[in-house]
């Protein structure tokens, strides 16, 4: 089943809107009672031309077409595809895979084809032997069998579909034979007596299966032996190599090569009629793995058409530190999850109160009981409940604020808090200021600028809001003609003082039109991602952020995104 996941990943991340074809190397089991259902099988590494093939099976090489719509799987022009397979007899046993990957539901609609070549016109049967020994003599038969066993039974890495032996002169002397890969045929004397050994998947003991016909077609097209070719059909039964069931047919090829002709051979569906089948990975797979592959689906799909240059994987690696786990904090955390961010830390020292859950999207009624859960911790837990793969941490801490009088003891504690915040800021790439007072933004603004971190500030009014990116101020070596952005306090004429004491209830609570937090929170994250998606902004993920410049893939702008 993992083959399908890999096909889906290939489509999602590399092919995107492209439909291929991509090379696949499937296999056909010579042992009918083993392996997966279906006449063609795949291993997890079947993508590519060098995929290994399991024992007692032979490789079928060909192309996979990963169509964008499910309708194309059934409606594509299969005749043309078979004709293409006819032209490329290098494939030996050709195969075709038509597929559509529904990555949203982890279902895969697919249709395998294994076109089989017809015997070259004019091929003549010279000899038909029920056993190898009766044709080759006991000794040679045994050597061929032993060599075949070694080559066909193991799970060893890439092996060709068949092997050949240049038979020794019939001198009556003991001779050891060596099976050689077909690719070595160039070194062969055209007049040699040739023996081709192959694994035969044909259910009929006395009929030439498709593997035999494909092999002969291949040989006819390549070296056209003057002498008849002996085809040794090696069999497996009940999971074991069965040399006693092997047969030999000697054929004389026609003097002139005709164009190879294949008969289409498409797999039947579950009702026994030719048609696509469906693989549903969702029903069986591990939920955590399903989530891991599905969770960023929409992000990756952005790169198909909407924003091909967008490096969503790097964006998701931004380590984000959120100051405030209230109305804005919840909205920002959720938007970051949507952007694939997997490392979030929330700082808040409040508890969930009964008025919170209807506006703060990470909390429920249960969280309010018994005095309320600590917001930071509860928010982090809720993020993990949304997607267990996220690394979310809640820090119950307060941010020291100017204007709030502290005693000597409180001052010592505030110093500890500052040091803790400094450490947190160092460990993150992007800071979001999402508190409910002006003065609490002051210290993180300062520390963020000192550490050269990207700082995004958001604040709500009743029917207006502010979303802005902080700059870093002019530094040594900066070009004064290219001033950096300012910060919240640069743009604000009022110093950060105590704004909470003496406030009426409607000034303490977040009295806003309920929709604003969703809008402002989302814009704050979009702004951050636009900055980070910019080539210079992306540097913020590994070092101090450089000044903004031209537009990036998402249109990063130098100016603040502020609404009245």
Distance between CA atoms of residues 139 and 510, nearest Å: 93
Of 102 and 242, CB closest to a copy of itself: 102
304 binds a copy of itself (CB under 8 A): yes
Stretch that binds a copy of itself, among 88-96, 158-166, 364-372, 400-408 (CB under 8 A): 364-372
**Cis previous bond, 190, omega within 30:** no
Tell me the window of 25-33, 36-44, 47-55, 510-518 that interacts with a copy of itself (CB under 8 A).
510-518
Choosing from 13, 227, 387, 452, the residue that interacts with a copy of itself (CB under 8 A) is: 387
Segment contacting a copy of itself by CB under 8 A, of 46-54, 150-158, 403-411, 507-515? 507-515
Euclidean distance between CA atoms 468 and 260, whole angstroms: 68
How far is 530 from 522, CA to CA, in rounded Å?
Answer: 12
Q: How far is CA 368 from CA 353, 365, 372, 375, in A?
A: 5, 5, 4, 10
Among 364, 413, 499, 561, binds a copy of itself (CB under 8 A): 364
In the block, residue with structure tokens 């911790």: 377
CB atoms within 10 A of CB 119: 18
Is residue 351 within 8 A of residue 398, CB to CB? The reply is no
**Least distance from C-beta 562 to a copy of itself, angstroms?**
15
- Is there binding between residue 338 and a copy of itself (CB under 8 A)? yes
> Which residue in 52, 168, 239, 357 binds a copy of itself (CB under 8 A)?
357
Integer Cα distance of 474 and 62 in angstroms = 60
Output 213 or 375, the one with its CB closest to a copy of itself: 375
CB 262, CB 86: distance < 8 Å: yes
Q: Smallest distance, Å, CB 136 to a copy of itself? A: 55
Stretch in the footprint of a copy of itself (CB under 8 A) among 43-51, 138-146, 380-388, 433-441: 380-388
Q: Which of residues 104-123 bind a copy of itself (CB under 8 A)?
A: 104-106
Annotated catalytic residue 560: no
Q: Which listed range, 122-130, 162-170, 183-191, 283-291, lies at the site for a copy of itself (CB under 8 A)?
A: 283-291
Phi, psi of 189 (to 5 degrees): -75, 125
Q: In whole angstroms, how close is the CB of 135 to a copy of itself at the nearest point?
A: 56
Closest listed residue to residue 233, CA positions, set 219, 218, 216, 246: 246
Of 101, 368, 509, 560, which one is the catalytic site residue?
509
Tell which one of 263, 511, 539, 563 touches a copy of itself (CB under 8 A).
511
Q: What is the maximum alpha-carbon separation in the chain?
A: 114
For a copy of itself, which is the closer residue by CB, 238 or 501?
501
Residue 62, strand partner residues = 24, 95
- Taking CB under 8 A as the criterion, the residue among 386, 446, 449, 560 binding a copy of itself is 386
For a copy of itself, the closer CB: 16 or 237 = 16
Among 88, 463, 478, 551, binds a copy of itself (CB under 8 A): 463
Q: Which long-range contacts (CB under 8 A, 24 or more apart) does 39-47 make?
A: 39/112, 39/114, 39/267, 40/95, 40/97, 40/112, 40/114, 40/267, 42/3, 43/3, 44/2, 44/3, 44/6, 46/3, 47/3, 47/6, 47/7, 47/10, 47/22, 47/23
- Distance in Å from the first CA to the final CA of the chain: 54
- Residues in contact with a copy of itself, counted by CB under 8 A, come to a total of 82
Nearer to a copy of itself, 102 or 536 (CB): 102
- In angstroms, what is the C-alpha Rg of the chain? 35
Within positions 68 to 97, which residues make up the interface with a copy of itself, using CB under 8 A? 68-69, 71
Q: Of residues 368, 454, 538, 556, which one binds a copy of itself by CB under 8 A?
A: 368
Asked if residue 388 binds a copy of itself (CB under 8 A), the reply is yes
Within 312-331, which residues bind a copy of itself (CB under 8 A)? 331
Catalytic residue ranges: 509
């Amino acid at each position: 089943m993992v083959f399908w996941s890999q096909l889906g990943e290939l489509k999602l991340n590399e092919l995107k809107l492209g439909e291929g074809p991509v090379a696949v190397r499937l296999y056909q089991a010579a042992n009918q009672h083993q392996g997966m259902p279906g006449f063609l099988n795949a291993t997890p590494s079947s993508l590519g031309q060098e995929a290994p093939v399991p024992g007692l099976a032979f490789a079928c090489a060909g192309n996979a077409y990963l169509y964008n719509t499910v309708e194309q799987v059934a409606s594509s022009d299969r005749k043309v595809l078979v004709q293409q397979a006819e032209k490329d007899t290098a494939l030996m046993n050709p195969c075709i895979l038509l597929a559509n990957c529904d990555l949203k539901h982890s279902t895969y609609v697919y249709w395998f084809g294994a076109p089989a070549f017809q015997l070259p016109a004019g091929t003549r049967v010279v000899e038909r032997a029920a056993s190898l020994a009766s044709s080759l003599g006991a000794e040679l038969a045994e050597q061929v069998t032993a060599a075949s066993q070694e080559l066909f039974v193991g799970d060893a890495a890439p092996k060709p579909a068949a092997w050949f032996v240049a038979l020794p002169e019939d001198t009556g002397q003991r001779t050891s034979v060596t099976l050689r890969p077909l690719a070595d045929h160039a070194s062969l004397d055209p007049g040699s007596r040739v023996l081709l050994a192959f694994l035969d998947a044909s259910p009929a003991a006395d009929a030439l299966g498709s593997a035999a016909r494909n092999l002969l077609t291949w040989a006819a097209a390549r070296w056209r032996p003057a002498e008849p070719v002996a085809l040794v059909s090696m069999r497996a039964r009940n999971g074991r190599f069965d040399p006693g069931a092997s047969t030999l047919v000697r054929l004389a090829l026609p003097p002139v090569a005709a164009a190879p002709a294949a008969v289409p051979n498409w797999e039947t569906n579950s009702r026994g009629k030719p048609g696509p089948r469906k693989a549903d990975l969702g029903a069986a797979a591990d939920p955590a793995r399903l989530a891991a592959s599905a969770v960023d689906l929409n992000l990756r799909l952005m790169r198909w058409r909407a924003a091909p240059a967008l490096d969503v994987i790097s964006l998701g690696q931004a380590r984000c530190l959120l100051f405030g786990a209230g109305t804005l904090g919840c909205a920002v955390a959720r938007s970051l999850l949507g952007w694939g961010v997997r490392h979030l830390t929330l700082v808040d020292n409040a508890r969930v109160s009964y008025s919170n859950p209807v506006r703060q999207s990470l909390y429920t009624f249960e969280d309010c009981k018994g005095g309320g859960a600590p917001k930071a911790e509860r928010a982090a837990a809720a993020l993990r409940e949304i997607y267990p793969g996220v690394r979310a941490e809640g820090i119950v801490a307060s941010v020291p604020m100017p204007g709030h009088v502290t005693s000597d003891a409180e001052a010592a504690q505030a110093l500890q808090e500052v040091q803790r915040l400094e450490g947190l800021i160092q460990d993150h790439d992007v800071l979001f200021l999402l508190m409910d007072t002006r003065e609490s933004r002051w210290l993180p603004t300062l520390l963020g600028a000192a550490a050269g971190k990207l700082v995004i500030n958001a604040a709500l009014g009743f029917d207006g809001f502010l979303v802005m990116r902080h700059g870093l101020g002019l530094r040594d070596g900066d070009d004064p003609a290219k001033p950096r952005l300012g910060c919240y306090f640069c743009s604000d004429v009022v110093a950060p003082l105590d704004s909470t004491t003496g406030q009426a209830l409607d000034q303490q609570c977040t009295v806003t039109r309920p929709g604003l937090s969703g809008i402002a929170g989302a814009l704050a994250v979009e702004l951050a991602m636009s900055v980070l998606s910019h080539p210079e902004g992306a540097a913020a993920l590994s070092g101090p952020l450089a000044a903004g410049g031209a537009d990036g893939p998402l249109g990063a702008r130098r100016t603040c995104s502020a609404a009245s």
